[in-house]
Each structure stands twice: as structure tokens, then as C-alpha cells.
Structure 1
């Protein structure tokens, strides 16, 4: 923070990041107007960020390419960024191996088999929430759950928009809380906090929201006809790796060890059950790594551009402008909520939004003495909330595809009760002192950047 205060304010230094958003969003809007499917995901985010990198080097050319590259490399290879990159790779490897050995199928079928007939809609929310929390992917959850849900909507006399809202809400619940979600990884590493601490902060906002949403789904989601969802076969042993990762992470075990245990346990179970061989196990680990290449490079490039932006006064300018709006700690946290939501609407990608906002949010957090656990929680919660509500987001586009256009985003959005409630409880958690204390056990030690229990 001291370094930022000594930097001369310069709003033009933010142009590279703004250019990235304009290119990424502009390409999406143009392709959407042309009727291209998944329009906001056609232009590679890494290419857009690469253009931002080039523009930054051109803008700050007076310092010389060697000095600018040294600054860029400092940001791209900072401890937080490298830690984030390694976690991305391991999370991708775990997700791929666990999926290949049948973990996703068994998890879904297990949940489906135990849902009482009169709780079908609420059950969809619970299954989606568990699966997304265990796998760290809202897209994977929507892809796995929606086809099953569509199959029983008409048969049971259920509301298609409400069931899709339940699935979307559960998927975003897990995306927000999962220890291996790329949004969680980005939020915690950019703010320098532990995964378990951010989880606990988020959990006390997500829990009441989920309970109320469940009650509403039970009340308004009862089927007209009693029917059970046809469940497939499942093996409990294949759910173990997901449970292992969740439990070990909550116990505070080092995240690298947690993910390594998850990969190894999924591999052993897969080989023992005949779903994997040593070769296919290794292949799937590699495929998982490759699935993270985009967010890996985006985080690295984004870290480098952020360092250049900070050095040449961009972050200092933004903080000065926000200071005119923020009158204190509470209003600064409200500003973070708006920043996260607006950036997600612009990028249509919650992980990208967190990466873009990360350094700026950390500077605001330090200036107004906002507990970094809360900052990470706000970034993750509000990007997930808006990601779950924008009609052009990947999740909604996938729902539209899987339901073959039978339901409109405008029908679903008013029924996303959990997301509205999550936003409400997140805001209340910094407006009400006693609630804030519940979500933030212990005090943050600003000197040592750790929690004093």
C-alpha cells in the first residue's frame, strides 16, 4: 500500500485492462448479434489479454522494454500468482481423473436415488449444490443435472423454469463454495487468504440463503404427480475422492496435499474398479492440466499487466476516485460488490472478473482495512451471483441448449431465489456488526497477513 501511495496517479494506466474488457465483451456482443452459439466464449480470453499486454508495453515504452518486462515478470511470477497456477493445474487433474473413473456419474445417481418424490425440485438444488461443491464446476454440474431434470419435469408436472432455477442456483452455490473452483482459487490467491478461511466467511452467508431457498423450493416446487426420478447405478466408493477433498480442505490441510490426495485416491479407485489403467490415469491427469491452460495463461498475463498498471499509477487513480464515493469501510465493501458484479457482466466469466478485479480489490481492502477474507468472499459471491443471472453467461446458454429452447432466461431469472438471498446476506454480513463477527472468526493481522485466532 505504501508503494501505491508513493506512485503518481494516472488513470490512463488502466487502458490495457479496459481494452481487454472492450475486446472480450465487444466480440461477444457482435457474435451474439450474428446468432453464434456461446457467443461470449468464442473469442479466446488469453488472446484479448495478450493484446492488453502489448498495449501496456507500447504505452509505457519510455521506461524501456527491459524494465517493463522485468515489471511484467514480477507480477506474472509473484508468489500468489504461481501458487494460484499450481492449484489450477492440480484442481484440473483431480477433476479429470475423478470424472474419468465414474465419480460424477456415481455422485449424481446417488443423489437422485435418495430424493423423496415430493421433494423433487428441492432435491435438484441439493444435488446440484453438492456436485458443484465437490467438482468445482458449475458448467459440469449443469451439463450433468439438466438432462435428468428435463426428463421428469413433464412426467411429474413440475415447473420447468423453477426446476432449471433450482439447478442453476445449486450449481452457483457450489461454484462459490468449492475448494477447487477456479473462482475460489482466484479470489483467495489475489487477496492472500487461505481457502478454508474464505470458505467459512462465505459459508455463513450461503447457509441462510440456501435454507430459505430450499424452503421456498419445497413450498412452491411440489410435483402434481408423485414420481421418482429414474436413477442409474452408482458405487459409493467412487464418491470418496470428492468427500476426501472436501473434508481435508476444511480441516486446514495444505491445498497442494489435499489435491494430490484427491488425484491419487481417484486414480487408485479407478484402477481398482477397472475404469482406469496406469496409462489412462496419467493421460487424464494431463488432460486435466490442459483444461486449465486458458485460465492458467490468463492469470499469468493478468498478473503481469496488473503489476504494470500499479507501477504507472492506474490502481492509485482508481483508489483516489473510489475514495470520493467510499466514506468508510462499509461503503467500500459495497463498492467491491458493485465492482465485482459489473466486471462479471462485462466479461461474462466470473473467474476472469476476479482476476481483473483482484489487485484493485486488494488495494481497496488495505486502504479501508477490510478483512481480506471478506474481500475474497465478496469477489467470489458477487461474480457468481451475476454469472448465474446474465442471460448470455455460459451456464444459461448451456441450459437453453439442453432444454432445446423450452425455457427462457427471463422465465428463470426471477426464480433464482438463492442468488438474490446470497447477495442480501453477503451485504448484511458487513452492515451488521454481530453478523460480521460471525462470518470472520478471529482478527486479521495486517502486519503478518494472517488470522489471529
Structure 2
């Protein structure tokens, strides 16, 4: 498609999409719904933007409709959507066969009583990277973390902040996280490459957090060691998916085999029968419907906005302060952080920003593996920090009013450490060594001109 002249008017539908989502979510919160940003469904907000785009952007209706359909049916959008539903099936089946409970109990069984906060953090890291869901990790570990705080002298805000940090570790790194899927597909890179790039920043942040917890998070009163029962075989599917993805196996094959492995374990242990297994697979598909629809519709909206010159307008303005690779990466960080603050959803933010970031990547020759890493990292940093995000709100709800989100925010040590190392990596590219083993060929990666 030929380049369009920069046109701010074409960007207004995108602004309406984000603005309506933000305005309605804020209104619901003000009216007493703490989870208000999740009460209004994002796909409806996208439809508002799409309708506005068809009405406001100049051009023949057929041309605009074709741009919309091409955006919806973009190869990376379709691949992303299929990965979503397969990841949903794996997560649902694995949870139903007892995988999450087994993983939690495995971790709890090896925690030294004097290192409870470190143990909660490490277990949350493992569960989130295995299951791909930060909110699910918080839901699984929240009651246990609160129970530990009540039995000891550990600060309740600290243990809640520790739980959130561990959950965001895996949200950023997991190969089946919807944020990872969105970041890699919008940038056209392999998951293992984005994983390696992120690992160089996440591991130092994790180490710093563990050291701080060892120094400042020890309880004065050490509880008695408890015995937790677990079946290690139920943890194996998570290990298989993690290792298989990092090793470079096709993500579709990994997720299908992982779902079959979890199903076989569940059938063998009597957790469900064959019919129930098939229904859990479908439930996993259905559970990803909202993000599936959001991705497809946002791709369509981006297609119309690009057709009208909106993306070109953004890039023209961005070029005013971007002078090279470093400032381009700073721009990616700022765009992602601001969009997440506006939407309170890092997956939505990455889906929105993906096409814009991809254009920045092409213009300034930023490694797309690096841009995918920055998208996912800053989405995780901001999402795990904002007091109205699902992660913080879900975690503090387990305290039954004892802790507010604002008490937790200063203690989110992992988010602060990750932000430090990601920003440092922009100016001192120490993370590049993790991806140079597979040199990036821009000419090969860049989309062919149409």
C-alpha cells in the first residue's frame, strides 16, 4: 500500500478508542467499582473507534473496508490469535488436572521458614512463567501470602508487593503469556529470541529483589514448617512447554503437545474423563475470546488509521525527538508506558502500540527482537505498578481492607529493579549479547513493499 500523507484527523478514531476506554473505566472506579477498568470490555471501545474511522477518514467506502479487512487478517494478527486460543487450552486443562496446585505446593514445601518472602517471590516467578498469567498467579498464591503475613511479623504490604513482583516476572517472560504473544507477533520475531533478550534484564532485577528480601524481608517470628502434598508429575507439562519453547520448537507444536500431556495426566489420575477434557479445551478457547476479538478488531482499526495517514502523522511527530537507535528505544518505552497507564492493560497496550513501534523499528533500524522485549518489559513494569491495574487490585483484595494499593507501590522492588535494568540496557546495550548469536538481517525481516 502506498504511503499516505500525515493526517492527524485519521488518528482521532484511535484516540476515541483509548479515550472511551479510559473515561468509562475511570467513571466506574469513581462510582465505587475498584475493578472498573475491567467492567467495560475493550472490544466495544475498539468498535467505537472503527465506526468513527469509517465516518471521518476520507476515501471510498470499499477502499476503507478493504484496509480494515486487511488489518484484521494480517498474517501476524491471525498467528497471534491462534496462539492465544492454544495457550488458553493449555492453561485451562493444566489447571483442571491440578497443575497449579501441585506447583504451588511444590514451592511451599521447599521454602525455609525464615525466607518466606523470598519463597513467595520465587514461587510466584515460577508459577507465572509456567502458566503465563500474572493475575492467575496472584489468585493462586494470594491467600497463602496473606496467611504467612498474619502468622509472622512480616509487613503485609511487603508480602503483597513481593507477590505482585513475582507474578510480573513471569508475565514478562512466559512464552505462553498473552503479552509475549502480542509483542513477538506484532514485531515479527521468535519467542525464544525475545525471551533471551528479556532474560538479560529480568534476571539481574530478580537477583536484586531477592537480596533486598533477604535483608529486609525476614520475619522476627519464624513459623513452624508445614507439610504440603504435591504430585510432581502434574508439574511436568509446564516444564515441557517452557523448555520446548526456549529450545526453539514450533510454538503451535509445543502448546498442542503440552495440552495433550496435561490431558493424559488428568485422564490417568481421574481428574476428568475424555468428554470433560474436550470441554476444558474448548473452555480454554472461549476464555481467550475477548483478547482474540480485541486483537483482530484493533488490527482492523490500525489498518484504517494507516490508510488515512494517522500512523504517518505519529511517526512524523516522533521523528522530531528520535535521532537514532537509543532515542528510538526511549520512544518505544514512553509510548508503551503511557498507553498502559491509559488502558490499565499491558496486552491491550502492546496490541495498540505494536504497529507504531514496528514502523519506528523499520525507520531507525532497531532490532525487532529488542523492540519486542521493550514492549513487553515496559508493559509489565507499568502494569505491575499502577494502583488501578488488575494485578495490584486483585492482590490487595486478599487483605480484606488491611492494605491499600498506595501502601504497596513503594515496595514494588522488582518493578523498580526491572525498570532500572531495562533503561540501563538502552544506554549500555549489555542485553544485546544475548541475541547476537542469531544475527538480525533487517532486509530479510522488513516487510516487502506492496
Class of the TM-score when normalised by the shorter of the 2 chains: over 0.9
Q: CA deviation at 1:66?
A: 2.1
2:6 paired residue number? 9
Q: Paired residue for 1:107, among 97, 103, 115? A: 103
Go from structure 1 to structure 2 and tell me whether the alpha carbon gap of 1:170 and 1:229 turns closer, same or farther (over 3 Å shift).
farther
The equivalences for 1:123-142 within 5 A come to 123-142=119-138
Q: Paired residue for 1:306, among 302, 306, 323? A: 302
Counterpart CA distance in 1 for 2:67 and 2:214 is 54
The equivalences for 1:4-403 within 5 A come to 6-60=3-57, 62-228=58-224, 230-403=226-399
Q: CA deviation at 1:434?
A: 4.6
Q: Would you say the 8 A contact 2:178–2:347 is kept in 1? A: yes
SS of equivalent residue, structure 2 residue 86: helix
SS of equivalent residue, structure 2 residue 400: coil
Counterpart CA distance in 1 for 2:22 and 2:190 is 32
Go from structure 1 to structure 2 and tell me whether the alpha carbon gap of 1:28 and 1:440 turns closer, same or farther (over 3 Å shift).
farther
Q: Would you say the 8 A contact 2:197–2:431 is kept in 1? A: no
SS of equivalent residue, structure 1 residue 447: helix
Q: Would you say the 8 A contact 1:428–1:435 is kept in 2? A: no
Q: CA deviation at 1:443?
A: 2.4
Q: Would you say the 8 A contact 1:201–1:377 is kept in 2? A: yes
* More displaced 10-residue stretch of structure 1: 411-420 or 105-114: 411-420
Q: Which runs of 5+ in 2 are unaligned?
A: none
Q: CA deviation at 1:225?
A: 1.3
The equivalences for 1:420-435 within 5 A come to 420-435=416-431
SS of equivalent residue, structure 1 residue 444: coil
Counterpart CA distance in 2 for 1:93 and 1:203 is 26
Give deviations 1:63-94, integer Å, cap 9, x for gaps: 23222111111111111000000000000000
1:407 paired residue number? 403
Give deviations 1:259-310, integer Å, cap 9, x for gaps: 0011000000000000011011001001111110000000000001111111
Give deviations 1:93-148, integer Å, cap 9, x for gaps: 00000000000000001101100111110110000000000000000000011100
Counterpart CA distance in 1 for 2:147 and 2:402 is 13
Aligned length: 446
Go from structure 1 to structure 2 and tell me whether the alpha carbon gap of 1:449 and 1:386 turns closer, same or farther (over 3 Å shift).
same
Counterpart CA distance in 1 for 2:226 and 2:22 is 41
Counterpart CA distance in 2 for 1:228 and 1:361 is 51
SS of equivalent residue, structure 1 residue 405: coil
Counterpart CA distance in 1 for 2:393 and 2:436 is 36
Counterpart CA distance in 1 for 2:204 and 2:261 is 33
Task: Provide TM-score, normalisation by structure 1.
Answer: 0.96
Q: Would you say the 8 A contact 2:172–2:376 is kept in 1? A: yes
Q: Which runs of 5+ in 1 are unaligned?
A: none
Give deviations 1:155-200, integer Å, cap 9, x for gaps: 1211111111110000000000000000000000000000000000
Q: Would you say the 8 A contact 1:430–1:436 is kept in 2? A: no
